Amino acid sequence: MSKVIGHFIGGERVTGTSGVLNPVYDPATGKVQAQLAMANLDDLNNAVNNASQAQPAWAALNPQKRGRVFMKFVELLHRDMDKLAEALSSEHGKTLPDAKGDVIRGLEVAEFCIGAAQMMKGEFTEGAGPGIDIYSMRQPLGVVAGITPFNFPAMIPMWKFCPAIAAGNAFILKPSERDPTVPLMLAELLLEAGLPAGILNVVNGDKVVVDGILDHPDIAAIGFVGSTPIAEYIYSRGCTNGKRVQCFGGAKNHMIIMPDADMDQAVDALIGAGYGAAGERCMAISVAVPVGEEAANALMERLKPRVEALRVGPYTQADADFGPLITAEARQRVLSLVDSGVEAGATLAVDGRKLSVEGYEDGNFVGACLFDHVTTDMAIYREEIFGPVLCVARAADYEAALRLPMENEYGNGVSIFTRDGDAARDFTSRINVGMVGVNVPIPVPLAYYTFGGWKRSGFGDLNQHGADAFRFYTRTKTVTQRWPSGIKDGADFNIPTM
């Protein structure tokens, strides 16, 4: 009998009341490695009740003390880094170094939250009028929630719950049901760090739980990361129910390679950004755009042998460059898209469709694929593939290259590789994409800046982490005060002015 993974409610692991179990697979073997207890609405209500009871006392704690919990949490994350990475890789399939990177990028947001007191400061104006002072303060919303994806089971939950909790809220996390172990481990570490029971609850489930979160009257705000269709659904339903909602969806990230670029540097960047984590990253580079035929030919000449040499295997294989896809269904979808690219007339320069990893023949592996001469009407260009597939779309000149990301429906990330400062400055100014790299292939901002895409990659007014996270999980209260000093103005029926 496989182990049963439950929930974390009220400071302890529980199996819930639904009795429904879903398999958790090992992506490298295709075999079931655990059973996940799926929550029902009673389980969700239990979590919200625990959160509601614990939140007022947590909010009343001064922000320095809340920050100290995150100081200890960061220490514990470092202590258990290997254990977290092992659990993450076993369920997701990514390599151990990549899994540690997943944890570290979440840890950096926890570090930022140590300074919660700074982020919770309001403003003050003395003497705004005769004897009148005005000040503002940031206050938590109460109980808030996050719905997070499979591809970063440590990082994105921490991006959501760390600032929310540091700001004085209680949090309900609904992580992906495909790799549920690490979020539970994170909740236990926060409890060990001194977080009161009930402030962070982890509820595993499917659409029943998602809709329950969207409709629950006691949940004030929801953060989501996932596909664009689901992001639109959550944003629409959550807003209709009067909640504050931020949703981040899909991506189609371009990397423009100018003729003057360091071509070896560009190839190194494309290899890591295009094929790392088997392409299962919303910030993966999936379209390379060389400018001019000479640059395109030089790029392909260097890129093709590097892609052919990529090593694919389970996370236990120390020299593996990337591992399997998360599910058999994800593998089949990627293979179907590659087939469609061939049928549409793109040149499949490297074909990884027939890859078989010895000893792991039933795993969800797809070898690295490289397309050349990709055009905008092809499905491999239009759709987010979320697999180890890089498309090269040649552009005649800079303006033609710029139009590709500008006219794409997504606006998550984009990069330009060039030695020309004028070109880089023009690009960063004009491009309608939320995160921009100059000679940087994956322009994910550090924790004290904010992360968020434009167009159909992001829904809502505020981004993730940085100052925006504290703005999203708090509301501003503004106080206008006057202490009478023997002044008697009498009644005034006009709108107050200064």
For 337-379, the pLDDT digits (tens) are 999 999 999 999 999 999 999 999 999 999 999 999 999 999 9
For 292-342, the pLDDT digits (tens) are 999 999 999 999 999 999 999 999 999 999 999 999 999 999 999 999 999
Structure tokens at 2: 């496989």
Residue 57 and residue 144 in one domain: yes
Residue 325 and residue 220 in one domain: no
Would you state the pLDDT for residue 247? Answer: 97
Domain assignment present for residue 488? The answer is no
Q: Residue 139 is which amino acid?
A: Q
Residue 414 and residue 468 in one domain: no
Residue 295 and residue 421 in one domain: yes
Residue 234 and residue 279 in one domain: no
Note down the domain range covering 229. 3-249+457-479
Residue 257 and residue 245 in one domain: no
Domain assignment present for residue 200? The answer is yes
Residue 127 and residue 40 in one domain: yes
- For residue 488, pLDDT beyond 70: no
Structure tokens at 375: 């055009």
For 26-46, the pLDDT digits (tens) are 999 999 999 999 999 999 999
- Residue 19 to residues 14, 22, 37, 391, Cα–Cα distance (Å): 12, 10, 7, 45
Eight-state DSSP code of residue 356: -
Q: How far apart are CA 280 and CA 156, in angstroms?
A: 14
For 44-96, the pLDDT digits (tens) are 999 999 999 999 999 999 999 999 999 999 999 999 999 999 999 999 999 99
Q: What percent of the chain has pLDDT over 70?
A: 99
| Collapsed DSSP state (helix, strand, coil) of residue 307 | helix
| Secondary structure E strands in 165-295 | 170-174, 200-202, 221-225, 244-248, 253-257, 285-290
Residue 393 and residue 245 in one domain: no
The closest alpha carbon to 366, from 349, 351, 344, 384, belongs to 351
Q: What CATH number is attached to the domain comprising 393?
A: 3.40.309.10
- For residue 2, pLDDT beyond 90: no
Q: Do the Cβ atoms of 400 and 421 come closer than 8 Å?
A: no
Catalytic residue, candidates 247, 282, 369, 391: 282
- For residue 486, pLDDT beyond 70: no
**Does 282 qualify as catalytic in the annotation?**
yes
Q: What percent of the chain has pLDDT over 90?
A: 96
- Measured from the Cβ of residue 166, the count of other Cβ atoms closer than 10 Å reads 27
- For residue 161, pLDDT beyond 90: yes
Looking from the CA of 160 toward its CB, the CA atoms found within 13 Å total 33
Looking from the CA of 473 toward its CB, the CA atoms found within 13 Å total 32
Contacts of 375 (CB under 8 A, 6+ apart): 344, 346, 381, 393
Contacts of 176 (CB under 8 A, 6+ apart): 148, 149, 150, 153
